[in-house]
């Protein structure tokens, strides 16, 4: 079970320090936990979580090692900072910043080649689900990622469930996860309005291997509650 918190564009270094100190002092050590702060807060998180089992990941990475790519960060730079992994292909990147299946795959491969752990996001929009295209979209997005890798996990994040308070039913999540695993043999996290009160039933599905949590990962209480819901009893 892996619980990853995607902080999006929240928490600068000061708030990151406060959160990481609280997380370090919490009782979430029986489950794999990763936090994904904004770039400017990564060093603080790495420093404060050093010596714990809690990983620190970025929210994106470029596929080149270095070059004239203003505003981008390479996998080598993340490694130098002590960062453990990265998210790629989040739907907000696809929706607002022109990220495609192809660029997502390039980012994922470069990060894996550099030794980073990768959470690659896939998921259909509401329009695609209503149009009966969910399976085709997931097939296209997952196939584009290429081969399985021991450092690769996929996050199934139906776009209509992200930040909306709408969550996929456990059955619907299970169905999508089973499809993804039939295409790529990697662990699959669920993401989309995971909260303390719905985490346990989603995580209980046989093909749900953890969660990628956005909004509820910003408060220490809700995040640790979700981590506890994933802890084996």
Q: Does 119 bind ligand PEP (CB under 6 A)?
A: no
Which conformational region is residue 39 in: left (phi greater than 0), alpha (psi within -120 to 50 degrees), or beta?
alpha
The residue count of the chain comes to 233
Query: Is 62 annotated in the active site?
Result: no
Of 37-45, 124-132, 134-142, 156-164: span binding ligand PEP (CB under 6 A): 156-164
Is the CB of 134 or the CB of 217 nearer to ligand PEP?
217
Catalytic residue among 92, 128, 157, 177: 157
Catalytic residue among 62, 90, 92, 128: 90
Q: Tell me if 209 sits within 8 A of 187, measured CB to CB.
A: yes
Residues 172-201 close enough to bind ligand PEP by CB under 6 A? 191-194
128: Cβ contacts below 8 Å, ≥ 6 apart: 134, 137
Q: Does 126 bind ligand PEP (CB under 6 A)?
A: no
Query: What's the token pair of residue 210?
Result: 């953890």
**Cα separation of the two ends of the chain:** 12
The nearest distance, CB 160 to ligand PEP, in angstroms, is 10
Residues 3-22 close enough to bind ligand PEP by CB under 6 A? 6, 8
The nearest distance, CB 229 to ligand PEP, in angstroms, is 14
Among 215, 222, 223, 226, binds ligand PEP (CB under 6 A): 215
Query: Is 157 annotated in the active site?
Result: yes
Tokens 């969910």 belong to residue: 134
Residue nearest to ligand PEP (CB): 214
Is the CB of 5 or the CB of 20 nearer to ligand PEP?
5
The nearest distance, CB 70 to ligand PEP, in angstroms, is 25
Size of the site for ligand PEP (CB under 6 A): 14
Q: Does 212 bind ligand PEP (CB under 6 A)?
A: yes
SS3 call for 36: strand
Torsions phi, psi for 200 (to 5 deg): -60, -45
The nearest distance, CB 226 to ligand PEP, in angstroms, is 10
String of DSSP letters for 55-117: EEEES--BSSSSSS-TT--BHHHHHHHT--EEEES-HHHHHHS---HHHHHHHHHHHHHTT-E
72: Cβ contacts below 8 Å, ≥ 6 apart: 62, 64
Catalytic residues: 90, 157
Residue ranges binding ligand PEP (CB under 6 A): 6, 8, 157, 162-163, 191-194, 212-216
């Amino acid at each position: 079970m892996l619980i990853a918190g995607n902080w999006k564009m929240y928490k600068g270094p000061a708030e990151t320090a406060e959160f990481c100190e609280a997380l370090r002092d919490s009782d979430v050590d029986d489950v794999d936990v990763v936090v994904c702060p904004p770039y400017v807060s990564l060093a603080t998180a790495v420093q404060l979580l050093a010596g714990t089992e809690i990983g620190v990941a970025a929210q994106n990475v470029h596929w080149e090692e270095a070059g004239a790519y203003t505003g981008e960060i390479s996998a080598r730079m993340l490694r130098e900072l002590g960062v453990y992994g990265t998210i790629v292909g989040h739907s907000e990147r696809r929706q607002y910043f022109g990220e495609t299946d192809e660029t997502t795959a390039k980012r994922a491969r470069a990060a894996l080649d550099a030794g980073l752990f990768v959470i690659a996001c896939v998921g259909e929009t509401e329009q695609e689900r209503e149009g009966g295209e969910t399976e085709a979209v997931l097939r296209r997005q997952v196939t584009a990622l290429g081969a399985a890798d021991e450092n690769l996990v996929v996050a199934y994040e139906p776009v209509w469930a992200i930040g909306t308070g709408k969550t996929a039913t456990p059955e619907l999540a299970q169905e999508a996860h089973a499809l993804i695993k039939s295409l790529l043999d990697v662990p699959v996290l669920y993401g989309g309005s995971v909260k303390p009160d719905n985490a346990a039933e989603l995580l209980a599905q046989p093909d749900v291997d953890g969660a990628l949590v956005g909004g509820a990962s910003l408060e220490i209480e809700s995040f640790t509650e979700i981590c506890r819901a994933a802890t084996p009893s």
